[in-house]
Structure 1
Amino acid sequence: MQTTTLTSTWPQTLCDPSGRRQAKPRNKGCTMVIDKGIGQHAFADMLSTSGEYIDIVKFGFGTSTLYPLPVIQSKIALAIKHGITVIPGGTLLEAAVRLDLIPGFFRQVLELGFTGIEVSDGTINLSRTLRNDLIRDAKSMGLTVYTEYGKKLFGSRIDVTDFARTAEQDWACGAELVTVEARESGKGVGLFDEHGECREGDLSHILRVVPNLDRLMWEAPLKEQQVSLIKSLGPDVHLGNIPVNDIITLETMRRGLRSDTFELQQVPYSEYMI
């Protein structure tokens, strides 16, 4: 069976009814995808269908150490070809701190070809001095740094005053974005309650107190969380911990191509509106 080479495309406005989505490299509406262990072929399939909509891939937790080296090198190189920043999970750096293996961590990050890291203290207590040093050292090595605020313990909440202070210090040290912790479950941590619903009061408080909102990333692994943040902060909100299978779904919501965010469409005046 012969395949026909297509020369036509969808109308541009139909592809992005919001009229707001940037092409890569983006500084608005970045999407961070969490890879929890998919294989090379699945990873390549993900990039062939969704690579244009991914800005950051994070190899979750400490999974980076468990891949055969040729496999992880191949995945990293393929993501970079698609213009994607690739980082190991923040938990891996926390383990390196706890085990006094920071130089070895950075050596392997660079050797494997990672282009960024995540600095977090979701499981350990990281001093402000060491947090500053990790951010600055990574920057000096040419790595893009994403930091994370919040604990992974179920029931933990955001101390908004401390969060604002931490974010400002992280940015001053060279962090690209500061991420609000929500874990991969999206329930009972940070901004979300035990049912995964957004704590609107906490969100409003953050929006009043924290500067540079365009430099915050919100972990939002569940669809309703993504909808809530897009409606509250707009389609240009940075969202993280997006599951592999939800990348295009999220992109439709950013563009007003799903009923949940249909109102984002910039509809021209027409007879159908009379």
Structure 2
Amino acid sequence: MKTIQRTDWHPTLLDPTGTREAKPRISGKTMIMDKGLGWNAFEDMLETAASHVDMIKIGFGTSPLYPHHVIKQKIEAAKARHISVYPGGTFLEVAVANNLVDEYFQTVRNLGFTGVEVSDGTIELDRSARSRLILKGLDAGLTVYTEYGKKCWGSTIELRSLIQTVAMDVRLGAELVTIEGRESGVGVGIFDQNGDCKDEQILEVLANIPNRNLLLWEAPQKSQQVHLIRMLGPEINLGNIGAQDILALEALRRGLRSDTFIFPNQPKAEEIYELNYDI
């Protein structure tokens, strides 16, 4: 059942783009990165913006640093609002490096997390090891999100590797493949040393991926979110969004900010994209 947001506003004032879908949605997903919110702040975030959040990632390896009752409260509150919640991929990499993968998955399940992120942003995982982790997550009843890209400064997208990774991860059952952008959005993946998007690489990736809804782009900076929405449309999947920026991003998606303002009879973002980018 889709989550319907009650509103007194005229539908066009609520969403001038006319594109936003209620949850659960297959595109236009927003992933929030929780880097250490206390319980009251987390609860306030959900009270204010839960209908605009699809996934919450408990960033990095912070999950075991919370008091037990706080992390349990967070997980249960997210689940009650139909939000997927999972630990950061770096934490699984720590488990792999210390040969504690079974213990990791057991605790993830015991705590009630609904998802897991499989990544190799810091360590090296060969294809067989990556595949085993994806299947292990699925066997544990978790939604599996994978991530492509290294976290080191200056890392870039290798197109052939990305295409192969997306194809295999999705074939095995991954829900989404995240394009690494870190929490900074600078000097990594699709972002240059100034945090600007590498448009040529983005278009090349999309030209070689059968379905853009398979990808989630980490874009922590407002300028990056604006650029990607204007370039690819409001239904792009975006991640590593700050908790304080949820409504601001949703306003960008709906054309409720000057950066993405839609005038009557103006082509919508995806139509502009089709006119200017023939991929």
| TM value normalised by structure 2 | 0.91
Which SS does the other structure have where 1:108 is aligned? helix
Which residue matches 2:271?
none
Deviations 1:172-200 (A, max 9, x none): 11000000001000000000001100011
Deviations 1:59-113 (A, max 9, x none): 0000001011111000100011111000100000000000000001000000100
Whether 1:146 aligns to 2:145 is yes
Which residue matches 1:115?
114
Contact 2:16/2:262 (CA < 8 Å) preserved in 1? Answer: no
Structure 2 regions of 5+ residues with no counterpart?
A: 1-5, 267-279
Deviations 1:131-172 (A, max 9, x none): 101111111221001000000000000001110111100001
Distance 1:19 1:188 in 2: 34
Which residue matches 1:125?
124
> What does 1:40-189 align with in structure 2 at a 5 Å threshold?
40-189=39-188
Contact 1:176/1:215 (CA < 8 Å) preserved in 2? Answer: yes
Which residue matches 1:202?
201
Which residue matches 1:270?
none
Pick closer, same or farther for the CA change 1:224–1:125 going to 2, 3 Å.
same
Which residue matches 1:22?
21
Which residue matches 1:245?
244
Distance 1:187 1:21 in 2: 29
**Aligned Cα root-mean-square deviation (Å):** 1.5
Percent identity reads 52
Which SS does the other structure have where 1:221 is aligned? coil
Which SS does the other structure have where 2:85 is aligned? strand
Which residue matches 1:212?
211
The runs of at least 4 consecutive aligned structure 1 residues that moved more than 3 Å come to: 264-267
Pick closer, same or farther for the CA change 1:116–1:266 going to 2, 3 Å.
farther
Distance 1:265 1:56 in 2: 32
Give the residue type in structure 2 aligned to 1:119.
V
Which of the two has higher C-alpha Rg?
A: 1
Which SS does the other structure have where 2:138 is aligned? helix
Contact 1:255/1:264 (CA < 8 Å) preserved in 2? Answer: no
Structure 1 regions of 5+ residues with no counterpart?
A: 1-6, 268-274
Give the residue type in structure 2 aligned to 1:238.
N
Alpha-carbon offset, residue 8 of structure 1? 7.9
The count of corresponding residues between Structure 1 and Structure 2 is 262
Contact 1:17/1:266 (CA < 8 Å) preserved in 2? Answer: no
Distance 2:78 2:264 in 1: 31
Distance 1:133 1:86 in 2: 21
Distance 1:69 1:27 in 2: 32
Alpha-carbon offset, residue 204 of structure 1? 1.6
Alpha-carbon offset, residue 25 of structure 1? 0.9
Distance 1:220 1:208 in 2: 20
Which SS does the other structure have where 1:231 is aligned? helix
Give the residue type in structure 2 aligned to 1:47.
L
Distance 1:155 1:250 in 2: 27
Which residue matches 1:32?
31
Contact 2:31/2:55 (CA < 8 Å) preserved in 1? Answer: yes
Give the residue type in structure 2 aligned to 1:29.
G
Which SS does the other structure have where 1:263 is aligned? coil
Which residue matches 1:232?
231
| TM value normalised by structure 1 | 0.93
Alpha-carbon offset, residue 265 of structure 1? 6.3
Give the residue type in structure 1 aligned to 2:170.
W
